[in-house]
Amino acid sequence: MPWNDNAGGGGGPWGSGGGGRRGNNNNQNPWGQGPGGGRRGSGNGQGGGEPDLEQFIAQLQARIRRMFGGGGGKGSGGPGLGLIAAGIFFVWLAWPGSAWYVVGPQQAGVVLRFGEYVRTTGAGLQFKLPVPFETVMLPEVTTTNEVAVGATPQESLMLTRDENIVEIDFVVQWRVDLTYPEGVRDFLFNVRDPQGTVKAVAESAMREVVGTTELQPIITAGRTDVARRARQIIQDTLANYNSGIQVLEVQLREASAPASVIDAFRDVDAARQDAERAALQATAHANQVIPEARGDAVRLLEESRGYRERVIAEAEGQASRFNQIYTEYRLAPDVTRRRIFLETMEQVLGRSELIILDQQSGSGAVPYLPLDQLGRDRSPARTQTGSASRTGER
């Protein structure tokens, strides 16, 4: 067996100790014996069981004798013992944290004598009784600690007063309360697991606040108010515990509708924009229609005023013309009357297609008049201008 061969040869994994011990162990199970032999072998270096132990004890005794011997017997070992005692004493005092300690600017040094609070010290190098008598705790008191709530849906989804669900993710910043003298003591001795306490109290407080507020304010203008109220409850509760914890700030990182309904909420915002746009478009329409109507109104009024002035002027003109003719007419009514008649007939008949029919001579037969051909070369335009100019001449 290769395994046994290796063990016997002394080159096996269990070292030379196994081989050096006893030859008759060779046929035994290497698992059982190997390790034991090896350990013993390496502890000694020289091999051999009982004699080795005896020798070791003897050496130890000799060493002890050298140490204590002076004090007990001859007195010649005095300086050795004193030296060792002094060394131990020196190490005891000099060991960091034993008789002196350094308090950082962010820390407070709280000294306990056998577990009993004795004093609190400030920053810098400080002294105390060495270790079994006095121990020191160095809590970080000026550091701002952060607790985040809302990392998981279970933490972040909260019910509002109107039975909606809001997603809230917030951070509480706290530190040891230094506003009263016993703050550090309370912090160290009154509450187990400050960070966990702050978190549990914060979540409970936030749910309490959210539960009394409606959804809309939480996700819009009421955010800061929610944070402020939660901060107040957290602070009051922690003060009630005499926890020595001061809540600095509660910051709402997120306060919105849950992810699965956010689209519907966005659509409401979009609807507001749509409504606003519709109203603006209507206003634009109004802004166009009303001034147009005003303009039309002014045009109508001006037109009518124009009509009035024109009609009056025309009437005055015609009346004046008549008056003047009438004045002259009165001087020679008959002649004037006849003149006017003749002049008018002249005008009218002069431009007309005149057909003179003698009723007496034509009494035998009815004359033929081609009525459809009579008006053929008439032109309305010419007639109008002609008549206008002719009347104007008179």
Partner 1 sequence: MPRIVLISLAVILAIAVIVGLSATYTVSERESALVLRLGNPVAVINEPGDEEPGLHFKIPFVDDVLHFDKRNVEFNMAPAEILAADQERLVVDAFLRYRIVNPLRVYQTVRDERGLQQRLSAIMDDSLRGVIASIPSSEVISGQRAQVMNRIQLAVEAQVATQDIGIQVIDVRILRADLPQQITDRVFERMRSERQQEAALIRAQGEERARQIRAEADREAVVILANARAEAERIRGEGDGRRTAIFAESYGQDPDFFAFYRSMLAYDLALRDNTPIIISPDSEFFRYFQNQAGAPN
Name the minimum Å distance from CB 19 to partner 1: 39
Query: According to the binding rule CB under 8 A, does residue 254 interact with partner 1?
Result: no
Q: Distance (Å, rounded) from C-alpha 151 to C-alpha 164? A: 20
Decide the pairing of beta strands 165-176 and 145-149.
antiparallel
Site for partner 1 in 15-54 (CB under 8 A): none
Token reading at 307: 């009509």
Q: Please, are residues 244 and 182 in contact by the beta-carbon 8 Å criterion?
A: yes
Token reading at 11: 């080159």
By three-state DSSP, how is residue 248 classified? strand
Token reading at 343: 């002049």
State which of residues 35, 47, 80, 258 lies at the interface with partner 1 (CB under 8 A): 258
State which of residues 5, 54, 140, 267 lies at the interface with partner 1 (CB under 8 A): 267
Nearer to partner 1, 24 or 361 (CB): 361
Q: Distance (Å, rounded) from C-alpha 78 to C-alpha 90? A: 18
Q: Distance (Å, rounded) from C-alpha 391 to C-alpha 388? A: 5
Name the minimum Å distance from CB 182 to partner 1: 12
Query: According to the binding rule CB under 8 A, does residue 58 interact with partner 1?
Result: no
Nearer to partner 1, 22 or 65 (CB): 65
State which of residues 44, 126, 190, 251 lies at the interface with partner 1 (CB under 8 A): 190
State which of residues 1, 125, 331, 357 lies at the interface with partner 1 (CB under 8 A): 357
State which of residues 23, 27, 31, 163 lies at the interface with partner 1 (CB under 8 A): 163
State which of residues 4, 126, 256, 347 lies at the interface with partner 1 (CB under 8 A): 347
Site for partner 1 in 275-304 (CB under 8 A): 275-279, 281-283, 285-287, 289-290, 292-294, 296-298, 300-301, 303-304
Name the minimum Å distance from CB 155 to partner 1: 8
Site for partner 1 in 68-107 (CB under 8 A): 68-69, 72-73
Residues 6+ apart with CB under 8 A from 353: 374, 375
Name the minimum Å distance from CB 349 to partner 1: 7
Name the minimum Å distance from CB 353 to partner 1: 4
Say how many residues touch partner 1, by CB under 8 A: 130
Token reading at 247: 């809540």
Nearer to partner 1, 105 or 116 (CB): 116
Nearer to partner 1, 9 or 211 (CB): 211
Name the minimum Å distance from CB 88 to partner 1: 14
Name the minimum Å distance from CB 159 to partner 1: 5
Q: Distance (Å, rounded) from C-alpha 179 to C-alpha 256? A: 35
Q: Distance (Å, rounded) from C-alpha 99 to C-alpha 86? A: 16
With both helix axes pointing from N to C terminus, report the angle between 333-350 and 262-331 in degrees, rounded to the nearest 10. 130
Residues 6+ apart with CB under 8 A from 184: 108, 110, 120, 139, 141, 176, 178, 244
State which of residues 24, 46, 179, 240 lies at the interface with partner 1 (CB under 8 A): 240
Name the minimum Å distance from CB 97 to partner 1: 17
Please state the separation of Cα 375 from the chain's center in Å.
Answer: 92
Decide the pairing of beta strands 145-149 and 116-121.
unpaired
